[in-house]
A and B are shown apart, each in its own frame.
Chain A
Amino acid sequence: MAPDLTTDTATRDGVAPDLHPTGSVLLAIGWRAALVIAAAAAAALGAPAWLTAPLTCLAAIVVAEWALRTRGRGLLDAALVGLAGIVLTAIGLGLILNVLPPGLTRPMWSLAAGLVGVNVLLAGLGRGASMSLFHQAWARLRGGSDDESGGPPTDRRSLFTGLACGVLAVVVIAGAFVISTRSAADARVDPLEISALTSSSGVQVRISSGTAQGPFDLILEVDAVPTTVATGVQVEQGIPISIPVTIPAAGRVLLELVPTGSTDPVRELIFDAGVLTAGTTG
């Protein structure tokens, strides 16, 4: 018969009466602390996300599990308090880091999170060994429970079906993510852009597009007199073209991007060196 692990009494029964840290407790704390330190170090050193993300998640889970295994209010409570505790701890740490000179930098976050993790583990030194929440979950799953948070025993076939369906569900969700991301990326096609960046060396005109376009002529029009700056400009997909242009210091200048053979500009920049006078406003 599966143990009743849902009540305070049951969990307290599962706790060894000896309050001195045993070898197994030290070992349990030791490997968890090592994991926390490794995760903090990886994050502080700027390791790639594929390494730091799973490492941090794992460290957070084992620390939270260690902290909550003797709370004795069931798995739902443990999951809830664990997750909320992590979020609240992060918010609290952020407020503390804010008053420190370096502020909320990645190394400071890593250091602070590592310290909190190790402290939580050390706080459990005084208590005896107890059944982990994972074991409790497994025992409940296999043995069933009559209490409100449990259910009937789960046979091997149901476990297998659940597992298989879970794997398939993850595959389907991943597929949905892929299709969604690809679709959104495909739908986002940058328009034909023309821009001007002024620097000490002059004006750089930049032309770019998310699709191949052209050919265009770049025409500079000063006082209604057009001058071709560049002709046959072919814009390749995602490859910007920079063209230096000398803009007269006075007067009104239009810089037009015109399809070759046409007179209608598709894009237009304006450089007006004039001065606003009272008559120009309505």
Chain B
Amino acid sequence: MRRPPSALHRREHRYPARAAEAVNEPNGNRMLMYETPRTGDDATPGDQPAASSPAVQALAAREVKDERVRRGLRRVAGISASLVGSQALTSVLGLLFWTLAARTFKTSAVGVAGAAVSMMMLLGSLGSLGLGTLLIAKLPTTDLGQRRVLVRTCLLAAGSAGFLLALIVPSIAIHAFGADNFRPIAGSLPTLIGLAIGTGLMSVVLVLDQAVLTIGFGALQLERNITASTVKIVALFVLSQFLTPEAGAVGAGSSRAGLSSGMVIFLAWTIGNLLSLPIVALRTRGGRIHQDSRRLVQPSLMRGLGRSAISHHALNTTLQAALQILPILVTLMVSSQENAFFNSALMVCGFVFALPYSISIGLFASAGGKESDVLARMRLTIPFSLVVSIAAYLFLFPMAGTVLGIFGSSYAAEGVDVLRILALAGIPFVIKDHFVALRRVQGRTTAAVAVLSGFLVVEVVAAVLGASLGGTIGLCVGWLIVLFIEAAILAVPLWQGWRAATMASDSDHQTLDVLEDLAGQRADQPLSLTELTASASSAGVASPLLTGSITEVTDLLGDLDRTDAVKQPIVAGRPPTPGPSATESTVRSPSRWPGRLTRIGQANLFGPLILVMSIGVAVMAVAADGSRSAGSTGRYQALWVLGQVLIFLPAVIRIVLSRTGNGERTALALGVGVMFQLSRRMLYPLHFSYFDELLHATTLGQIEQSNHLFALNTLLPVSGYYPGLEVATDAVTSVTGLSALNAATVLLVIARVISMLAIIGLIRAVSGSTRAGAIAAVLYLCNSQFLFFNSQYSYQSLALPLAVFTAYAFLVRSRGSRTALVLPLAGLAGVTVVHHLTAMLLVAACATWLAIEALIGGRPPSPATNSRHRRRGRLSQLLAGPAAPRITGDPAADAPRTRQTRHRQDIVGLVVMTVTGAAMSVLAALNPGNPVGGYLRAIFVNFGNGASGLADGDSAKPLFSDSAGSGPALWEQVLLIGSVLIAMAALIIALAYAWSSLRSRQAFGLVLALLALVYPIVPAGHLTLATAEVGDRAAGFAFLGLAAAVAWWLSHRRIDWRGATAVGVIATVAFLGGVVLGAGPTARQLPGPYLISADARSIDADNLAAAQFLATLPADSPVYADRIGGLLAAADGRQVTVRHLSSGIDASPLLLNANFTAGDVDLIRKAGLAYLIVDTRISAGLPHLDVYIETGEYEGRTRTAPVSPLALEKFANVPGVDRIYDNGSVVIYDLRRLSDGS
């Protein structure tokens, strides 16, 4: 708590004479006369003057401190007034300058000048290199004798940088990128050099303006700006008379020199800047007497400042970036006309925003690098700035129209709401700017840049979202919401800092009381400060006076020279070991970069990284949005990939790092999985859109309609007999009331969480390392089926997680307990009900595990393992790593008897699992009507035929091309090949893992390694059409082993940032390439215009409208349609789509044969077709996914040209057939009379 002022008065009353020793300095500042106790031989208590008593010192210290706060506030006010005044006056004079230019020169010349000045401002700002802000920080601590040379050196550096930038950037723009619009300002040598000189000067004055703030010449900045603005107006007037082409001979001379009229205006601006510099030299000439070097510049003074300058520069740029990006966003997303209104409103708001910014700069500049001063002054500057910002807003709200009327009536009409919203931003800016001031003075600019950069991204994302939803107003609202959230977040460190300062202050007051009391008790016998310190310590007083660092003590006592302070006896009063403050001070030192990075690295970064991931999801949403409206162009493809990288790469790096906490690792792995699952909803958020999704949506619809299971789904008959996914979805819809799509999304997210946690738990159980588990989980995402196939609404998406869970539950079961196998068996049963193939593979895995366990599990680990391991060479160690530990961490497990018991328990458990699992699969297959046997047989026979055909020399499917002749772009092919090569390289690690597991008698590890060795099927499967599906499906299983092996290898290594980044980049390539392998080109992953037989890209408003019409017809009527039309007819239209797979009738000639034949009539009658759905667009090209309708369709194996349009129109002329629906793309025929034979 702050001490009431009466306390001070009381003390002053008690010690009037001593308090009165505070005297006035000649310059008006009060200064305290005091002496510190001496400990030398010549110093005896009796020699001490009364004023040197510690109590008086403490009193005086507080006097000085209070005075410093007052004095500091005056400086803040002075600097802020100077900055605000500068901005206001230069704006007015700038208006005058441009008005004069507009009235004197042609519009085109003014346009050229405007562009040149804008470029000069931009490049000048970049060229300043942050040295202005750096000087604010450094000058107060720079020796007086070196200050001027340091400033000059910085000015030279900034000027040179600005000059060079202005030479290089426009030249590149013109000559490399053909930006001919820049030719008038930099096309000829004279104009280019003129631009470079002007820009260099601009960099110089930008640095100078900030430097003069900190050396106590706040008004000097104002003076210089007024001088520059006035001179440039005069110069413009003079030049307009003599140097324009219209001005006779002299003007002609300027033309010969290559100067256009526009550059004459620019020249006037530069002259203004140039002639303002002598003012500064003149007003600061007094400082020359302190100069101890006659050198003009001294580059060595800049040594070590580069990083700090860059940091300040980045902070400045980050602060300004949003205001510079927003107008561009308005232009891009709304219109350039809207931007005119927006820009005007923003310009007006600039005056509102200028105040908190100026105050924060003033705060920083006046603090002289002392954090305590900034915090003390913030108590006044924050409320003051808030009040002024609110007052400005209250003024602008009713006056918005009037103010904007200056620009024109249309501005007043259209921009008023924008201005009213934008002006509110002044309030959060107060907090944001103060936060920046605090961080600057703390020397934590890099941390501030990191924080503000993150916020900047969120601001831009919110603005983009807002703009897409509500135009300019939406953009302003979105940006403003984030600004207020930022303010709320950034207020916390300000509050904490203020609170800490207050507590320190209270502590000081407490110290003063103790010192007073002690001094009062022993007034006749003054104590040394050391004694007082010890006494105060024993009284339980903690204060920087007693325990703080030297800096803090000197801060408290006033403007002591630090060198002297070191000599004070107070040093002797400090504890012999460095106190916490000293330690913290050391850690916070700006020069301790590695320490700070270490601290950041050791912190839990889950929060920031989950924010980055969410931004990745938002970027994917923006990509999908743009792709819907403008087609999946390169820009949106790049955004889509960027979103994936944002989700994946940072998390992988963090998880792989050795020093990351396990809790954070687990959370991050979970976060990545869930974020990718959520990203699916960004593509098609309104309906099920993929082939398998629509199949299962049909089954779900059947359950909802009939309230019972095991109905026939004609599109995929087997799915109705494995309804676990649909049952769980139905449960969610029933007990939550959510729609089917939302319930499916919830269920898939749950499945994803189970999947990630189960992999982490499983690998942890095998390896004994959570790090290995998290690495395996995140590497598992590299499988080609992860992002699309295994995250869609399909039974495998739930079955795989449950299968991994089953293995986990078996591994961690309580051996010996009667209920040990309940959970694994429940998981196995669940998998059996969800997906046939996964259940069978799980049983097969159990059988393999059983066999391996029976063969090697009972034997002790190879006795040679350890000794051989020690003898291994570096390469083999690198490959194999240390032997994996046993399943449990129980040390007793190594005992032979325990091992035998465990072996027996595992054997029995695996026998039960295998037998029960097999029985359950058989039972499910025996369910009447279940076609699983034939279904799987067909798949594997097809696979076998494809593989044997390939072996016999049949031509392989063309690589990088689908059946329509389109394929991935070159960069996608590179990623794909990279992904396969990385996975193949990982197989070497899998072999090492297998060897290690074998030697350590770890049966399940060997099962995982064997699973990894299945991987070659994945890329090889893509060589033929017949094997592609099996190859794709195998990825979900093979990658479990592959990820486990690589995780095992990585988890035994110490990996720093460099290593983690390398792993992250490699994994990202594998991930991105895997996505292309599994889901096709990025252009097809994104939504966009209709494509023929291309899964989700074939679903559009036209065929959805046709499906909706079908829903108005009698339900469960047999219909026939192409691949997607049939799916939609069943899922949305509630009809029964006839397919060869379920009926044995190949009705494809109805759609694909150009002639109407008697065979067609037979097919219609045999299938009892009621309606025929014809999408006339399919004749425009070949199908992307091999078939128009289904495998084995009419002329499917020999097709080289698109289906004939005649085939799609033939029913228009068939007697007895009505066309009952037409939407331009899809027509529907009523075949009922033909089918009935009537």
Contacts and interface: CB of A to CB of B under 8 A. Distances in A.
B1202 to A, nearest CB: 21
Interface stretch (B397-405, B570-578, B608-616): B608-616
A182 interface: yes
A168 B666 contact: no
Interface in A217-269: 252, 266-269
B559 interface: no
Contacts of B1112: 197
Given A87-B830, A148-B769, A173 B684 contact: no
Given A53-B737, A149-B666, A168-B611, A91 B833 contact: yes
Nearest to B1109: A195
A1 interface: no
B604 A94 contact: no
Contacts of A180: 621, 624-625, 681-683, 685
B702 to A, nearest CB: 11
Contacts of B629: 183, 186-187
A86 B1220 CA distance: 47
A277 B1157 CA distance: 11
B962 interface: no
Contacts of A190: 1101, 1105
B707 interface: yes
Contacts of A176: 465, 614, 617-618, 620-622, 682
A126 interface: no
A106 B681 contact: no
Interface string A173-215: 1011111111111111111111111100000000000100000
A90 interface: yes
Contact of B1217 (A49, A272, A282): A272
A113 interface: yes
Contacts of A164: 489, 607
A150 B661 contact: yes
A88 B830 contact: yes
Given A172-B615, A178-B469, A282-B1157, A103 B1215 contact: no
A73 B765 CA distance: 11
A195 B1220 contact: yes
Contacts of A92: 826, 829-830
Given A149-B770, A267-B1223, A268-B1219, A88 B827 contact: yes
Interface in A40-63: 40, 43, 46-49, 51-53, 56-57
Contacts of A109: 730-731, 734-735
A161 interface: yes
Interface in B1075-1102: 1087, 1100-1102
A277 B1115 CA distance: 30
A260 B439 CA distance: 71
B1004 interface: no
Interface string B1149-1177: 00000011110110000000000000000
Interface string B451-484: 0000000100110010011000000001000000
Contacts of A147: 662
Contacts of A167: 485
Interface stretch (B753-761, B898-906, B969-977): B753-761
A23 interface: no
A162 B710 CA distance: 47
Interface string A14-54: 00000000000000000000000001100100111101110
Contact of B1224 (A266, A270, A275, A280): A266
The secondary-structure label for the interface of chain A is helix
B406 interface: no
Interface size of B as a range: 35 or more
B838 to A, nearest CB: 14
A123 interface: no
A162 B607 contact: yes
Contacts of B703: 104
A46 B737 contact: yes
A179 B731 contact: no
Contacts of A150: 661-663
A189 B723 CA distance: 34
B614 to A, nearest CB: 4
A95 interface: yes
A277 B738 CA distance: 53
B1158 A43 contact: no
B662 A148 contact: yes
Interface residues of A, number: 106
Interface in B465-524: 465, 468-469, 478, 485, 489, 492
Interface in A95-125: 95, 98, 102-106, 109-110, 113
Contact of A84 (B478, B621, B802, B1158): B802
Which of A179, A274, A277 gathers the greatest number of chain B CB atoms within 10 Å? A179
A80 B610 CA distance: 21
A275 B1233 CA distance: 9
B727 interface: yes
A74 B1212 CA distance: 68
B895 interface: no
Nearest to B730: A104
A91 B723 CA distance: 9
A169 interface: yes
B736 interface: yes
B606 interface: yes
B802 A88 contact: yes
Contact of A93 (B620, B731, B829, B1225): B731
Interface stretch (B805-813, B862-870, B1031-1039): B805-813
Interface string B709-734: 11000000000000110011011101
A163 B707 CA distance: 43
Given A158-B603, A282-B1157, A80 B734 contact: no
A76 B761 contact: yes
B750 interface: yes
A116 to B, nearest CB: 11
Contact of A272 (B458, B1215, B1225): B1215
16 contacts: A40-B735, A77-B761, A79-B757, A87-B802, A88-B830, A91-B724, A148-B770, A151-B661, A152-B661, A165-B610, A171-B485, A172-B617, A183-B468, A187-B1087, A195-B1221, A276-B1234
Which 7 pairs from chain A and chain B are nearest by CB?
A151-B661, A274-B1215, A162-B607, A103-B707, A94-B727, A165-B607, A49-B737
Given A179-B469, A183-B468, 7 more contacts: A51-B737, A53-B737, A84-B830, A109-B735, A158-B603, A168-B485, A267-B1223
